[in-house]
Chains A and B, each alone.
Chain A
Amino acid sequence: MRDLKLPAVRPSEITAERYFHMRRGLLASGLGLATASLLPAPGRAASAAPNVAPGPAALRYTPNPRYAVTDRSNSYEEITGYNNFYEFGLDKSDPAANAGSLRTRPWSLTIAGEAEVTGTFHLEDILKPHPLEERIYRHRCVEGWSMVIPWVGFPLADLLARFRPNSRAKYVEFTTLLDPRQMPGQQRAVLDWPYVEGLRIDEAMNPLALMVVGVYGRELPNQNGAPLRVHLPWKYGFKSGKSIVRIRFTERQPLTSWPAASPGEYGFYANVNPMVDHPRWSQATERRIGAGLFAPRRPTELFNGYAEQVAGLYRGLDLRRSY
């Protein structure tokens, strides 16, 4: 928890959107000058990220100072232009280029399995009772890169509690939309579609688990998993399912997409852990996107630096075997 600011971060420390827009050209290009926010980027600031219309709708939210980091947030362009979302293609720039075909309204969410309240609900009804907050989270990809992202959302636990999971609900499964016409990447069997992720129920109920609907104060762009996604900052990015259409409470551990595709390389837990390497690369360090060409790698922290909040979930678990 080295750089988690408790109990409070001054609002002045968070990048105001107008500065972010001024400097994003420079930052996106990898020049991580601390002074960048003061400098206009000549001739570059005007280039908009593809498919991010001049403005996804602005959201009403309050910043949650408990979840802020001292690291500079990545630019909007980086966050919305560099994505792993195989439903829209395998290259990092594919989702931004192709996600325009996804229709996020109307949208419904099915709640199924071991809960008292199940059924299919309009997205509006799902979202209505939850006040939105901004949390700045570190995001660590299993591939060895990381970002810092100002999400807008609400605690996953608050949502799940509304459906009153019963005592057999030991796990929660998240399923992404399956529609090869809207998600052209699904026309190829790269993974066994639809994408399925899952958590133990106590992991899902941890206050750190966030249901995300926006980024940088605006509605989530499609390529980031609109209209509804989770983010679990202590786990590798692939654990955080995007464009979710179904949440199912189960008694058995769900078979999730990456362990199904490559069981020797990806586990169910996928907690960020510098001591447990991916079979083909080290997880000891990471490269921060946008830090510049010659920025040193950063040491990766256990649970991505969130050990204080989540280490208790894994007491007694051999993290080397349950990776």
Chain B
Amino acid sequence: MSHSTDKRYRYIYKPALFLACLVPLAWVVAGVANAMAATNLPVPGLGADPVRRMLGIFGHSALNLLLITLCVSPLRALTGNAQLLRLRRMLGVFACSYALLHFLVYVGPFQGFDGHAIAADLVKRPYITLGFAALLMLLALAVTSTNGWMRRLGRRWQRLHRLIYVVTALGVWHYWWQVKKDIREPLLYAGLAAVLLGWRWWRQRRTTQQRGTTSSSALPTVPERT
């Protein structure tokens, strides 16, 4: 890669993406400040039930970032720009951070740190079980997202990080299951996730077929994680 591309990513694209990913958090922080310290920061209010709104903002942000993370590989294939991969780790780590914030709002403000109620939810409410399982997987992916772990795990790293497909599916399911009546939004998320995961399946299948028919082709033996 050229030196200037490297600089652009380091000093422009990555910091800009970092700031963009912070927007939902900044919204919540400003909203809480407005509510509790009577500041007057210009953000949409968190409404009469700020706890539920915070759960929603963090949960949606986690889902949005998961889907955006899954867009990186198709975009690379579409544009041929492999540099895009350099943004993927940050997107994934932010997705995990928002999922964790979503969980912490649930544990603290929503359930009031009531261990019994939380344990009962985890056991009795399937959508909470699903969400929690997704969070644990996502945490494992965030922890092993460093260069050191990539080196240490080698080829197994890719296989481990395919868990993001499972995490996304569970995340959408978790959302769908708790909606009272209006499934438009979960349906939209499910549709986008299906397209993004379906594209991978289709590509994988095509690659396998091509390999089967043209044995002497120069395709890589380990298909890159897509």
Contacts and interface: CB of A to CB of B under 8 A. Distances in A.
Name the prevailing secondary structure of the B interface residues: helix
Interface residues of A, number: 39
B102 to A, nearest CB: 15
Interface string A249-278: 000000000000110000000000000010
B48 A297 contact: no
Interface stretch (A106-114, A152-160, A280-288): A280-288
Given A82-B48, A90-B181, A92-B47, A297 B38 contact: no
A293 B32 contact: yes
A203 interface: no
Contacts of A42: 38
A215 interface: no
Interface stretch (B77-85, B105-113, B135-143, B160-168): B105-113
A145 B38 contact: no
A281 B125 contact: yes
Contact of A287 (B32, B35, B51, B180): B51
A44 B48 contact: no
A296 B112 contact: yes
Given A191-B181, A280-B177, A293-B36, A81 B114 contact: no
Contacts of B48: 28, 77-78, 81-82, 92, 289-290
5 contacts: A77-B48, A86-B181, A92-B48, A191-B181, A297-B114
Given A78-B48, A143-B180, 18 more contacts: A25-B38, A29-B50, A31-B38, A42-B38, A43-B40, A90-B182, A281-B125, A282-B121, A287-B49, A287-B51, A287-B110, A293-B32, A293-B35, A293-B50, A294-B109, A296-B112, A297-B112, A297-B117
Interface of B: 32, 34-36, 38, 40, 45-52, 108-112, 114, 117, 120-121, 124-125, 127, 177-178, 180-182
Which 9 A/B pairs are nearest by Cβ-Cβ distance? A82-B48, A29-B35, A78-B48, A296-B112, A90-B182, A30-B35, A297-B112, A293-B109, A43-B40
